[in-house]
Amino acid sequence: MLDSYRLRLLVAVADTGSIAGAAAALGCSPAAASQQLAVLEREAEAQLLERSARSVRLSSAGRILVDHARPIVAGLDRAGRAVAAAGTVDGGRIRVASFATASRRLVAPAMASLRRRHPQLDQTFTELEPEDAVPAVREGRVDLAVTHQYAGFPAPDARGLHPEHLLTDPLSLVVPVSDPHAGDGQVRLEDFAAAGWISGRSTQGFQAMTEMAARLAGFEPRITSRADSYGVVLNLVGAGLGVALVPRSTFVARPGIVLLNVTTPARLARTVHVVTRDSDHSPAVRALRDALIKKAATLR
């Protein structure tokens, strides 16, 4: 009979691409994981892994076993969480993650609302960007995450997860009050082809959106400043150092800047989602998800 823990290890190797990654996901040492996988090969009477000095990959038999093991592991997870879900919200625990701007306007108010109704619920929070939050939910390090997805970019891998739409956050252009278009209300990005642009430091998120939107409008943006904080971005615009595309929810009115609607290119927006595991039926997770949906309705 095949051991369920060892099957879980093999599935984790498939998901992470390494024995070390599988060991980290299941909370054991790489050496212990390797030993257990060797036992699983003896139990299965087949070579499940192709090992080399620097890497490991599933053999043909290993891939077949993983395909059969996934529903078994998911079923065990559902069974365990169904037992836990029999308890009350007050007796539960929930680990939450979110990107920064949603934390302020959406997640913190929802968690506060839940705490008022269930003061004994153990809630913890970690700030994570979507590229880190989604794997954290899948691997069980986080129970619920609020994430965003920019229009025009590939959606993250949602296998085993349940993403639910909360709201759509349009992108707008922030310009200095001295800009000739500051009084227009609505503008086209191509009108700012010669402008200096302020964007992020990473290759994801609003830096990538800025560059993609500019290219759709027919020009390559001249990035003159980079900052990860939207507050810093707005300060730089106010100082006259350039213009910036920002999600509208991040805009805080201040002297020296103007927020303008963008008419072309279309679909400049990000969608915000709450992500949980398909197999997680915890009443605490369900209660916070409902609180987030209720709060998001007031922000739309």
- What is the pLDDT, as a whole number, of residue 110? 97
Q: Provide the H-helix boundaries in the chain.
A: 4-16, 19-26, 30-44, 60-84, 100-102, 108-117, 130-138, 205-216, 230-238, 283-299
The pLDDT of residue 86 is above 60: no
pLDDT in tens, 37-52: 999 999 999 999 998 8
Average pLDDT over residues 110-125: 93
Could you tell me the sign of the dihedral formed by the alpha carbons of 267, 138, 21, 12, in that order?
negative
Average pLDDT over residues 50-62: 87
pLDDT in tens, 136-167: 999 999 999 999 998 878 888 888 999 999 99
CA-CA distance, 140 to 255, in Å (whole number)? 44
Q: Which candidate, 181, 215, 187, 211, places its Cα nearest to that of 197?
A: 211
The pLDDT of residue 170 is above 80: yes
The pLDDT of residue 176 is above 60: yes
- What is the pLDDT, as a whole number, of residue 206? 62
Q: Which domains can be identified in the chain, with CATH numbers?
A: 4-84 (1.10.10.10), 93-167+271-299 (3.40.190.10), 168-269 (3.40.190.10)
Task: Give the pLDDT band (50/70/90) at residue 203.
Answer: low
The pLDDT of residue 61 is above 80: yes
Strands 144-150 and 93-98 turn out to be: parallel
Q: Which residues of 228-252 are buried (b: 16+ CB within 10 A; e: fewer)?
A: eebeebbbbbbeebbbbbbbebbee
Q: How many CB atoms lie within 10 A of CB 194?
A: 7
The pLDDT of residue 185 is above 90: no
CA-CA distance, 263 to 84, in Å (whole number)? 50
Per-residue DSSP letter, 2: -
CA-CA distance, 235 to 256, in Å (whole number)? 9
pLDDT in tens, 218-253: 999 999 999 888 899 999 999 999 999 999 988 988
**277 CB contacts (<8 Å, ≥6 apart)?**
77, 137, 138, 140, 143, 160, 161, 162
**73 CB contacts (<8 Å, ≥6 apart)?**
4, 7, 8, 11
CA-CA distance, 185 to 15, in Å (whole number)? 48
Average pLDDT over residues 92-110: 93
pLDDT in tens, 2-26: 899 999 999 999 999 899 999 998 9
Task: Give the pLDDT band (50/70/90) at residue 208.
Answer: confident
DSSP letters along 113-179, please?
HHHHH-TT-EEEEEE--HHHHHHHHHTTS-SEEEEEEETTSPPPP-TTEEEEEEEEEEEEEEEETTS
Average pLDDT of the chain to the nearest whole number: 90
pTM (2 decimals)?
0.67
Task: Give the pLDDT band (50/70/90) at residue 204.
Answer: low
- What is the pLDDT, as a whole number, of residue 268? 87
What length does the chain have? Answer: 300
CA-CA distance, 226 to 223, in Å (whole number)? 7
Pair 71, 159: CB distance under 8 Å: no
Strands 122-127 and 56-58 turn out to be: unpaired
